Amino acid sequence: MLFCRLRPRCRPTAASGTAVGMRHVAPKVAIARRFVGLEEITPRRRAMKTAVFTRAIGVGGFLISAGLLVAATPDFSGEWRLVLPRSRAKDKLAQQWMPREVDKAVEQNGQSLTIKTHEINPRGEFSATLHYRLDGAEAQNDTPDVKTRATTRWSGNTLIIETAGSFQGSPIRVYDRWELSKNRRLLTVHRHFEGPPGRSDQDLVFERVNKKK
């Protein structure tokens, strides 16, 4: 029995019930349990596996979110023409300023956005080229009549352009929200204006003239 005390995992055979014929089976059982995936998991090992799994989910979720954020940023590049019947003036001042014709050539390249506009409205006809930064940096756009500073930011797949400046000595502010349709054929610009002689809101709908190459 001294041998059995030194080898506690021994057990007597059913035939003898003594140390004679004893055999050591625990290692074989442990190997078999590992082979079929039944190895006992201690609380410490369970906690370690849970922590690793949680970190993996967190990293994976971050990468997926980042990928979705990049994928949700649309490209507005192309040539656009105002669709007057689908556009809307939301107040009397906006009706007075509603353009009759607008053509835009948009070039979006990395973190830069260039918009060339030719417009005919009740006040006359004009053309302008405006430059913006898509990384949040401020952009300056000056014309003989208007001096402005503009910043941009993304809200999902909507581009928000905030412009502040002065016209004939009076402060003005313009808030534009650019949205691209799912089929990339329509561009909607929701515009809010503040300045003399008041506030106005317009929804300007543009149709793509040619597909981006």
Residues 114 and 135 in one domain: yes
Considering the domain architecture, whether residues 62 and 99 belong to the same structural domain is answered as: no
Please tell me the pTM assigned to this model: 0.66
Counted domains in the chain: 2
Distance CA 133, CA 163 (A): 12
Residues 90 and 49 in one domain: no
Confidence of residue 12 (pLDDT cuts 50, 70, 90): very low
Asked whether residue 67 falls in the same domain as residue 165, the answer is no
Residues 109 and 136 in one domain: yes
Mean pLDDT of 156-163: 97
Of 52, 71, 90, which marks where a domain is finished? 71
The closest of 200, 189, 178, 78 to 134, measured between CA atoms, is 178
pLDDT in tens, 63-106: 444 444 445 589 999 999 999 999 999 999 999 999 999 999 99
Q: Which domain holds residue 24?
A: 2-71
- Residue linked to tokens 């940023």: 73
Q: Are residues 39 and 110 in the same domain?
A: no
Mark whether 113 and 59 lie in a shared domain: no
Q: Which of 71, 104, 120 is the last residue of a domain?
A: 71
Q: Which CATH number do you get for residue 193?
A: 2.40.128.20
**Contact between 157 and 179 (Cβ < 8 Å):** yes
Output the pLDDT for position 46: 67
Pair (66, 85) in one structural domain: no
* Distance, CA of 139 to CA of 152 (rounded, Å): 9
Same domain, 96 and 191: yes
* 96 and 173 co-located in one domain: yes
Residues 67 and 86 in one domain: no
Predicted pLDDT of residue 168: 83
Choose the final residue of a domain: 41, 71, 101.
71
- Mean pLDDT estimate for the chain: 79
Measured CA to CA, the distance from residue 98 to residue 88 in angstroms comes to 8
Q: Do 167 and 196 belong to one domain? A: yes
Secondary structure (3-state) at 128: strand
22-66 per-position pLDDT tens digit:
444 455 445 444 444 444 556 666 666 566 545 645 544 544 444
